[in-house]
Amino acid sequence: MKFVTSRRFLRKAGSHFFMLLLCVFAAAQAFADPAIPTGDIRIHYHRPDGNYAGWTIYAFDNTTENTGNYGGGPVQVTGTDTFGAYFDVGVTSGAQEVGIIIHNPTASGGDQKDTPNNLFVDPATQGIEYWAYSGIAKLYTTAPSLTNPTALLPGYVRVHYHRTDGNYGGWTIYAFYDTTEFTGDYNSGLVPVTNTDAYGAYFDVAAVPNAQNLGLIIHNPSAPGGDQKDPGPNEFVDPSTEGFEYWGYTGIGKLYKSQPSLTNPTALLPGYARIHYFRPDGNYANWTVYAFNDTAEYTGDYNDGLTGVTSHDSYGAYFDISLIPNPKDLGFIIHNISTGVKDPGPDMHLDVATNTQAWVISGNATVFLTTPTPTQILDSLLNVEQAYWLDRQRVAIQPQFAQSGDTFAISSSLTGGLSVTPTGVTGGTNIPLTVGGALTADELLRYPQLSGYTVLQLPENTQLSTLQTALEGQLAFSAVGSNGMLQYATGIQFAGVLDDLYYYPGKLGVVFHHWDDKNWRDWPDDEDCAVKLKLWAPTAQNVSLQLFDHESDTAPSAVVTMHEHDGVWVAKGDPSWKDKYYLYSVKVWVSADGAVDTNVTSDPYSIDIALNGTKSRITDLDSDRTKPAGWDEETSPPLRSVSDMSIYELHIRDFSVNDLTVPLAHRGMYEAFEDQGSDGMKHLRSLAESGLKAVHILPSFHFASVNEDKSKWIIPTGLGVYPPDGQQQQAAVTASQTSPAYNWGYDPVHYLTPEGSYAINPDNRVREYRVMVDGLHKAGLRVVQDVVFNHTNASGEGPNSNLDEVVPNYYHRLDANGNLETGSCCPDTASEHRMMEKLIIDTLVLNAKDYKIDGFRFDILSFMFTYNVQAIQQALQALTPEKDGVDGSKIYLYGEGFNFGDTANNQIGPNASQINLYGFGVGTFNDRIRDGIHGGSPFTDERVQGFATGLFTDPSDYTNSNPPLNGQQNQLLQYSDWIDVGLTGNLRDYSFTDSAGATVTGAQVLYNGQPTGYTKSPIEAVNYASVHDNQDLFDKVQLKSSYNDNIATRARRQLMGMSLVTLGEGIPFFQAGDDLLRSKDMDQNSYNSGDWFNKIDWSGKTANWGIGLPIASQNQAQWPIMMPLLSNPSYTPLPANIAYSKAAFSELLQIRYSSELFRMPTFEEVQRNLTFLNTGSSQTPGLIVMNLDANGGGYGIYKHILVVFNATNASVTFTNTHLQGLGLHLHPVQRNSSDPATRQSTFNSKEGTVIVPALTTAVFVAESE
C-alpha cells in the first residue's frame, strides 16, 4: 500500500517516531516489498550512512504528485527494504518523462540534493521500479551492488567523457534510437553526468535489449548563448559488436571502445582504422562514412551516417572506424547524408590487416596508403566531372565557378597529358570559352538539374575536327582568375555534345545486305559487301574488328580495319563471314584509368554470341538455321483490344525443371514450351481456354549471373529427406550459388541476344528462343518479355561491361560530380542520352519483329523518362502486319512506376512514374490494391493483415497485439477504399463514396500520402497481389492469417485476393502458380534460391510448401516467425485444396471474359457503369459490393452484373434498394462451380438482397432484354 496518511502525519512528528517507523518497515520488509500501487513508480534509495531522515523526492513533469511545494518534500519515504528506503511516486497515465529530485529540505545549512542534477525516468520503456545509490546521479532499472555501486550494470552503456577544462556543469547526453531513455525532450538533458572518475565524468545510458544502433549527443543545454554540442555531429555506437563502455574526448567526434591517451588524444587507437579525407572546398559538413565488411560499426542504416567526422588535421578531415577482431577487408563509402551524394562514388576498400590508415581525395576512387602529394591532390580535381559539354557550341558549369573576370577554357589531350598547376591546366590543347547563352527547351527537359547553371560558349568558328579530336582524349574545364591563378578545374561530362554531333538513327551491329534497303545505305564507300558490322564509338581513337572462325578460337583468323563515319565505325565482309565470331578492339581514353586503353570487347548490339558472350556472332536472323518450322507463317493469338489483356508471370526454368512429363533434355529450357502434352503446357493451354491472354517471361536476354556452360552448374539433390522447417535445404542451395543454374536474370549484358543457359545448345539460342514463342502462341497465349533497361550488370573496365568499353562514361548515368549512379543497386543506365534511348528502342523493335514478342514489361520503369516512353510507343506503333509482320498497336507496355531513387520527383527529368504516366496508355503496377488485399507493404512486418488475410474480421495474434479493434476496423476500411479505386482501374478522376461517407475522387483517397488513383484509363493499371518480388501470394496468406485458420480457409483467402485482381477493371496480373497455391516457403527474395525453392508442380499434387527454411541471407531474421508455420503439417496444402484453387481461378477467368463490363477501356465508361454499394461509415467491414450496369449497351449478353467480395469469416446478407427488381441470378459459371459454398450464393429480387457465404466472391448477372 501507499502510506498517504503517514506522510501527512510524519510532517508533524518528530525524528524519534520516524526512526521507530523505519524499524517497523525493516521488520516487515524481511518478508517482501509490498506491490507497487497502480499509477505509481517506485524509487529505491540507498545511503551508506543509513540515515534517511528528512530525505524526500520532488517529482515533476509526468507526475500526479504535488509539484507546487518543492521545499515541503511532497513524496516522503514510503517504506524500507534490504536496499534502503523507497519512495512510491504517482505518475500520469502513459507517463514517459518523470523528473526526480532526491533531496533533504531539512538538512542543516538548507536544502541538500543528493546529486546536483535532476534525474529522469521513462516508465513507458523502462518500467516502474528504479534504484538510486547516494552520490550517483542515475536511476537504474536494476539494483546496483552495495559493495561496488559504480560497476556498470547490465542494460546500460557507459560513456566516459573528458573535458580539458574539467568543467562538467550542465553537460548531459541525449540518447536516441536503441535506448529506453525518454527521447521526446532534447533540451532538458535527460541523462546528466552519472558520476566522475580518474578520466573525467561518465554517463550511464539505458539501452534496449540487443541494442545495435545507439545514438548519442553530448551537449550542454544551459551553455551561455544556447545549447552547445561537443563536438557537433551525432555519434553512434553498436553495443552488440563494440561492447558497453566508451570514451569520448572533448572536440573529438568519436566514442572509442578503449580509453584515448590524455596526453595524445588524437593518436589512432588499436581496433580502429582511420580514413583521411580531403575536399578542395574545405566543407566537411554532413560528410560521413558508412563502413561494411570487417567493421564493428553498425551497418544496418546506410542513410544515417553512423560515422561522422572524428576530427581534422592538416590534410583535411578524418574518420575513425571501429574494427572487428582480426580484420582483413574494411569496406567504406564516403557520402553526404544531407544530399545523398557519394564521393567519389564506388565502394572503396582497405586491407586493414596490413594498413590501418588510408587517404582519400574528393572525386578520386584511389585509396592512398600514404599522404598524397600536392600534385596528386591537384590532378585529382579532374577526376570530378562537374562541367557539362552540352552541344557543339556550349558548356554548362555551376554558377559559383563562373566568376566575372575569369578566363575559361576546355583543355584536351589525346594522350592524357593534362596536369593541374597553380596557374591553370597544362599539357594539352585549349578551346577558349566565354559566358553567354542559355539551355534549350530540350536540354531543360533532359537535364532540369542544370537549370541554374551558367552557360559558356565555344568560338563560332570552332572546326568540327577540333571538337572530334578533343572528344577523343582527356578533357578538363578550367577557370583562371585575372591574377593569373587557377580558380577552378574539373573534368567534363560530354554525353550532350556526343548526342548533338554523333546521334546516329541507322541500324547498328550486324547488317546483312538482303535486309531492307534503308538499313544498308549509309555511306557509298561501305556498301560494296555482303555483310557489314557497325559500331557507334565516337570517342574512339581507333577501332578494328577481330574475326574468328570458331567460338573457341583464342586468336583471330583476321584483323579487319574499320572506317569511321561521323562516330560510326564500319567493317565490310563477304558471305563467308556468316556464322563466324568477332570482337572489337577499341582504342579509347578511359578517364577512370587515366589512360588510353585498348579494350577488346563484344558488340553491345550483338544479336547472337558465343558461350557466355565471350564473342559476338555474325548471325543472319533470316536464315533457316535460326527458325523453327513454320516460323515465317506463325502469328500471335488475336487480341481484340489491349483492355482484354491478362498476364501470367513465369520464369523459364521454373516452368519445366520440375515437370516429369517434359523430356529430360528440355526441362528448364526454351524447348519445354513446345512440348504441348506436358503438364505445364496443358495447364497454360487450359488457362488460355478460360480467357488468359499472355504469359510474361522473366528476363531472357543474355545476363551474367548464370554460366551458360551447364557442366559447371551445381544443382543440389536429395533435399527432400530434411524436415519441413530444416536449415539443411537452404544451406545446400546457398552452397550452389557459387556456380548456379538459377537466377532471375536482372543483370543484363547483351540486350539483343537471347540467354544461352535456357538453350539446350547455346549455339542455337536464337532458334530455341523462337521455339518457345511459337509454343506459347500455339497454346493461345501472347508473349510478354521482361526487359531491364534501367541498369547493366557491369560498368567501367570490368567484365561484361561492353557499353563502357566502347564509349566510356556515356551509357551510364552520372551524378553532378561524374560519379556512377547506382540507385537500382547496379550501374544505372542513362536513357536521357539519345543513343542509350536508341539502344532501348532498337532492342524492343527487334524483339517485336524478329521474335514476335507481344508486349514488354519494364523493370524499374521509373528510372526512365516520359519522353523515352513516348519514343518507344511511336517506334512500336509504327509496326504493321503488312510491313513488319506484327501489329504494333496491340503491343502492351507496362512496368514498375514506383517513384524512388535518382530519378524520384522529377529531379533529373519527368520520370516514368505512376503519376507522370497519366494518359500514356502504359501500365504500371498498382501497389495500392496489392497492399489493400494482403495488408502492410514490402517494407512493413510480414504479418500485417489486410482485406483478404483477416484484418479485423479474423485478426491474428500479431494483429491483436498491435492496434485495438477500432483501429483495425479503420485500417480495413482504408484498405477497402484502396481496393475500390483499384477495381475501377485505379482511375484518378473516378468519383465515389468513400468509407467516411464523403464523395471523393480516386486521387483524393490517399495511399501513404500519395494519390491512390493515378490513371486516365484502366489499361494504365496493372492490378496484382503477387509477383516474383517478395513473398508470393500463398506465402503472404500463410504469414498473415490467424493461426486458427485451417488450410481450406487459407486457400479461400488466396482466391479472395485473386478474385479482386481478376474481376476489376484494368489489366489483371498473376504470378505463375498462384492458382495452384504455389509456395516458395516464404522466401522474400528468391532471385537466386535455385530450383528447390522456385519450382512449380503443375500436376497439382504439391504446392512446394514445407520444404525447408528459405535462404538465410535474405530471410534469416524472419525464421522465428516461419518455423512454427512450416513445422505445422495442418498448414500444408493437400491436392484437394490445390484442385479447388485451380478450378476457382479458371472460373474467375471465364467470368471476366464473359462480359466486356469487366474490361471497359475508358474512364467515362467506368464512371457511367460501375458503382460501389457497400460504402460510407456504416458499411459492413470486409465486404465490397461492385455493381456494373451496361448503360448504353454493347458489353455483351449481360445488362447488370453484381460482384460481391465477402472477405469475412461468416455468411453475409446484404440488401440495397438499387438491387430491388433486378433479375439477377448467380453467374452460369458459378451456378455450376466446383465449389459448393459458391453455389450457395443467392439473390432475392424483391428485397434486393444477396446472401454470400464466408470468404467467397459471388457474381450475379442479369441478361439484356
Per the domain annotation, does 3 fall within a domain?
yes
* Calpha distance 1040→951 (Å, rounded): 9
Residue 230 in contact with residue 203, Cβ under 8 Å? no
Same domain as 590, residue 462: no
Same domain, 492 and 520: no
- pLDDT recorded at residue 516: 60
Does residue 531 fall inside a structural domain? yes
For residue 1196, give the 3-state DSSP assignment: coil
Residue reference for cell 514490402: 938
Q: Which one-letter DSSP state was computed for residue 916?
A: T
Q: Could you give the count of Cα atoms lying within 13 Å of 736 in the half-sphere of its Cβ?
A: 25
Q: Is residue 1132 one of the residues assigned to a domain? A: no
Q: Give the DSSP letter string of 262-275.
A: SSSTTSPPTTEEEE
Query: Which of 461, 468, 395, 462 is closest to 434 using CA atoms?
Result: 395
Rounded CA separation 600/580 (Å): 17
**Of the residues 123, 151, 179, the one at which a domain ends:** 151
Q: Which candidate, 893, 812, 811, 802, places its Cα nearest to that of 845?
A: 893
Residue 145 and residue 1 share a domain:
yes
Q: Give the Å distances, CA to CA, from 1140 to 1040, 1081, 1134, 1143, 1239.
A: 21, 21, 10, 5, 13
The CATH number assigned to the domain holding 450 equals 2.60.40.1130
Q: Are residues 528 and 438 in the same domain?
A: no
Residue 1214 belongs to domain with CATH number: 2.60.40.1180
Is 1189 within 8 Å of 1202 (Cβ atoms)? no
Give dist(CA 679, CA 696) in Å, integer: 19
Would you state the cell numbers that stand for residue 261, as one nine-digit string? 591517451
145 with 1, same domain: the answer is yes
Select which of 245, 379, 887, 896 is catalytic: 896
**571 and 591 within one domain:** yes
d(CA 61, CA 137): 18
Tell me how far apart the alpha carbons of residues 782 and 775 are, in angstroms, rounded to a whole number: 10
Residue type, 614: T
CB under 8 A, 24+ apart: contacts of 268-272: 268/320, 268/356, 268/357, 269/320, 271/296, 271/322, 271/323, 272/320, 272/321, 272/322, 272/323, 272/356
**Helical ranges in 1108-1220 per DSSP H:** 1112-1115, 1119-1126, 1135-1152, 1163-1169
Amino acid at 502: Y
Please say whether the beta carbons of 1076 and 650 come within 8 A.
Answer: no
pLDDT value for 5: 33
Alpha-carbon span 974 to 994, nearest angstrom: 9
Find, among 148, 131, 147, the residue nearest to 139 by Cα.
131
| Own/partner long-range contacts of 427-432 (Cβ < 8 Å, ≥24 apart) | 428/473, 428/474, 428/476, 429/469, 429/470, 431/458, 431/459, 431/462, 431/466, 431/470, 432/407, 432/408, 432/458, 432/459
Look at residue 328 and give its three-state secondary structure. coil
Active site (annotated) includes residue 406: no
Under 8 Å between Cβ of 1095 and 715:
no
Report the greatest alpha carbon distance in the chain: 121
Relative orientation angle of helices 1047-1062 and 965-983, to the nearest 10 degrees: 40
CA distance 1139 to 1145: 10
What pairing do the DSSP bridges indicate for beta strands 129-133 and 119-121? unpaired
Whether the upstream peptide bond of residue 1068 has omega within 30° of 0, thus cis, is no
Q: Is 1030 helix (H, G, I), strand (E, B) or coil?
A: coil
What is the Cα–Cα distance from 54 to 57, expressed in whole angstroms? 10
Beta bridge partners of 1247: none
Choosing from 620, 637, 653, the residue where a domain stops is 620
Residue 93 lies in a domain: yes
- 460 and 384 housed in the same domain: yes
Report the distance separating Cα 99 and Cα 1161, nearest Å: 64
65 included as an active-site residue: no
* Residue where one domain finishes, among candidates 567, 586, 620: 620
Rounded Cα distance between 346 and 1028, Å, is 29
Angle between the N-to-C axes of helices 1033-1040 and 1047-1062, in degrees from 0 to 180, rounded to the nearest 10 = 130
Closest by Cα among 319, 325, 315, 309 to 270: 325
For residue 461, the SS3 value is: coil
In a domain, 1194, yes or no: yes
Task: Report H helices in 1189-1259.
Answer: 1228-1231, 1236-1239
- Residues 454, 546 within the same domain: no
Could you tell me which of 958, 988, 1262 has the C-alpha nearest to residue 1120?
A: 958
| Grid cell listed for 479 | 577557370
Q: Which of 912, 962, 931 is nearest to 1036 (CA)?
A: 931
CATH number at residue 78: 2.60.40.1110
CB atoms within 10 A of CB 628: 18
- Side-chain-facing half-sphere of 1138: CA atoms under 13 Å: 19
Q: What torsion do the CA atoms of 900, 905, 908, 909 make, to the nearest 10 degrees?
A: 110
Q: Is residue 982 part of a domain?
A: no
HSE of 21, CA atoms in CB hemisphere, 13 A: 19
**How many whole angstroms separate alpha carbon 14 and alpha carbon 677?**
101
Burial (CB count within 10 angstroms: exposed 0-12, middle 13-18, buried 19+), residue 822: buried
Distance CA 678, CA 1128 (A): 32
The H or E element that residue 197 is part of is none
Catalytic residue among 708, 859, 931, 1020: 859
Bond preceding residue 231 cis, omega within 30 of 0: yes
Into how many domains does the chain fold?
4
CATH number of domain containing 535: 2.60.40.10
Query: Is the same domain home to 18 and 74?
Result: yes
Rg of the chain over all Cα atoms, to the nearest angstrom = 36
Range of the domain at 462: 378-501
List average pLDDT for each run of 10 residues in the chain, which is 1265 residues long. Answer: 34 38 40 87 98 96 93 90 98 95 95 94 95 98 98 98 97 96 87 97 96 95 94 91 97 97 97 96 93 94 83 97 97 90 87 98 92 91 94 97 97 97 97 95 93 97 97 98 96 98 97 74 77 98 99 98 96 96 99 95 99 98 97 97 99 99 99 98 99 99 98 97 98 97 98 99 99 99 99 94 98 93 94 99 99 99 98 98 96 98 95 99 99 96 97 95 82 98 99 98 98 99 98 98 98 99 99 99 98 98 98 95 98 98 99 99 98 98 98 93 99 98 98 98 98 99 91
Cite the beta strand spans of 994-1076 per DSSP E: 999-1001, 1006-1007, 1010-1011, 1021-1024, 1067-1071
Give dist(CA 503, CA 496) in Å, integer: 10
Q: Does some domain include residue 717?
A: no
Do 494 and 563 belong together in one domain? no
Residues 544 and 496 grouped into a single domain: no
Paired residues of 1161 in beta bridges: none
Asked if residue 524 and residue 494 are part of one domain, the reply reads: no
Residue 597 lies in a domain: yes
- Note the pLDDT of residue 520: 67
What is the rounded distance in angstroms from the CA atom of residue 1079 to the CA atom of residue 934?
A: 16
Residue 395's contacts (CB-CB under 8 Å, 6 or more residues apart) are 387, 388, 389, 410, 433, 455, 456, 458, 477, 492
